Copies of this chain bind each other. A is one copy, B any other.
Amino acid sequence: MNQPKKLNTPSVAPIKCSQCPIRHRAVCARCDDDELEILESMKSYKTYAAGDVILWRGEPLEFVASVVTGVATLSKTMEDGRTQMVGLLLPSDFIGRPGREQIEFDVTATVDVTLCCFDRPRFESLVCETPHIAQRLMELALDELDAARDWMLLLGRKTAREKIATFIEMLARRSSHGQDGSKDVIDLHMTRDQIANYLGLTLETVSRQFSALKKDGVIDFSDRKHFTVEDIAALQDETGDDADGGVVY
């Protein structure tokens, strides 16, 4: 953010896989040293500045990649401009799929992003030869599928207030710095418009619901991008989800 905006650098000096921050969570998580060496030899890094489009929908998919740092979004846009985010990519998440020539949605960097890229055809043959990669890719896909299904419930059935509460609770859980119960300052590194596209709302409705939750003492904004959760219990009540996360009868 406070760094100068850099142009879309085609590749930067790679770090060693063994020291990679996503080594044990990304597509390479199950790989042994030999397999890692193959990946090491074919990987290249690319960086994108906040706001850059990483891939356009329909574009031929020349590489697949893991997110090393930063956050990217997947989104679909209709002819008349209505758009819906269909996924959030955090470090260790995977972009692209073996066997597909094109990508079905736009991929955009919301903050500065570094990708660890692999040439798609070469990666595809590697998937066939290296069971550890297919296994991990399966796990990643199934995890994303679970997340997508939770999101479908939100999009199809939750009210605006429930959507916002769910979103905030997700952020709160994700950014809880160690000790529980503390009122961390949470960074909302998205615009109201992006949040609206994520939740299937308009930006005005997002703004109104934030204001309402603030008025009700559930959250408090220090500025437009930073807030604290004042009443976690109330927040969880508002999400519409079961109390303990799903296993209630």
Partner of A148, one of B78, B99, B148, B242: B148
Residues of chain B within 8 A (CB-CB) of A139 are: 99
CB distance from A85 to the nearest CB of B (A): 8
Residue among A137, A152, A247 facing the most chain B CB atoms (10 A cut-off): A152
CB distance from A196 to the nearest CB of B (A): 10
- The answer to whether A78 and B240 touch across the interface, beta carbons within 8 angstroms, is yes
Using CB atoms, name the residue of chain B closest to A162. Answer: B78
The verdict on A155 contacting chain B, using a C-beta distance below 8 Å, is: yes
The verdict on A246 contacting chain B, using a C-beta distance below 8 Å, is: yes
The verdict on A200 contacting chain B, using a C-beta distance below 8 Å, is: yes
Residues of chain B within 8 A (CB-CB) of A100 are: 142
Partner of A135, one of B134, B148, B153, B155: B134
Using CB atoms, name the residue of chain B closest to A58. Answer: B247
Instruction: Assess A79 versus B242: contact at CB under 8 Å? Given A99-B139, A149-B148.
Output: yes
In the assembled complex, the Cα of A247 lies from the Cα of B105 at a distance in Å of: 10
Residues of chain B within 8 A (CB-CB) of A142 are: 97, 99-100, 141
- The answer to whether B76 and A149 touch across the interface, beta carbons within 8 angstroms, is yes
Return 28 A-B CB contacts under 8 Å, by A number. Answer: A58-B249, A74-B149, A76-B149, A76-B150, A76-B152, A78-B153, A78-B157, A78-B240, A78-B241, A79-B240, A80-B240, A82-B157, A83-B157, A97-B142, A102-B247, A104-B150, A105-B149, A127-B138, A128-B135, A137-B138, A141-B141, A141-B142, A148-B148, A148-B149, A151-B152, A152-B155, A155-B156, A156-B200
In the assembled complex, the Cα of A142 lies from the Cα of B61 at a distance in Å of: 16
The verdict on A190 contacting chain B, using a C-beta distance below 8 Å, is: no
The verdict on A57 contacting chain B, using a C-beta distance below 8 Å, is: yes
Residues of chain B within 8 A (CB-CB) of A169 are: none
- The answer to whether A149 and B102 touch across the interface, beta carbons within 8 angstroms, is no
- The answer to whether B84 and A153 touch across the interface, beta carbons within 8 angstroms, is yes
The verdict on A212 contacting chain B, using a C-beta distance below 8 Å, is: no
Interface string of A94-126 (1 = CB under 8 A from B): 000101101011000000000000000000000
CB distance from A89 to the nearest CB of B (A): 13
